[in-house]
Amino acid sequence: MDLKSLKLELLERILLMEDETRLLALKRLLDAPRGYGIPNEHLSVVKEGEEPYLKLEDRNYSAAEVRKIVEDIQKQKDDHDAFAELLSPEEWAALDREGEQAERGEGTFHTVEEVMAHLRKDLGK
């Protein structure tokens, strides 16, 4: 079978396909980033406002830009570590237990209004 006939057969099969799940899977496959074939921006189909894939290899970074990226990541890690140190291991364990209870639907839950009422009461308002 030549390439043109194969394309026509595939297009016909896609047109006759009624299974939405399969069509969405095919769309995901075709939308996936790839290093071959026709880039998505050259297709004539109307785009649905999706964010394009960011390809870092499409540009060169200066040493200063790389240093800034690494410093930003390190600062985020330091901020996260500093936040994690605000609570003791026992307090983190208690939070984890409460989270597990909430996932199981156990424990005591309050509405926003109840929490605000408790807060106003505690603040003496």
Q: What is the pLDDT of residues 89-107, one digit of tens each?
A: 888 888 888 888 878 878 7
Average pLDDT, the chain: 76
pLDDT bucket at 49, cuts 50 / 70 / 90: low
CA distance 121 to 125: 6
Closest CA to 43 of 27, 23, 59: 27
Most confident stretch, 29-33, 39-43, 66-70: 66-70
Contact present, 40 and 31 (Cβ < 8 Å) = yes
Give CA separation, 66 vs 58, 59, 61, 79, in Å: 15, 12, 6, 20
- Reply yes or no on whether the pLDDT at 12 is more than 70: yes
CA distance 6 to 2: 6
Q: How many CB atoms neighbour CB 17 within 10 A?
A: 11
Tell me the percentage of the chain whose pLDDT exceeds 70.
78
CA distance 21 to 104: 31
DSSP label of 59: S
- Reply yes or no on whether the pLDDT at 124 is more than 60: yes
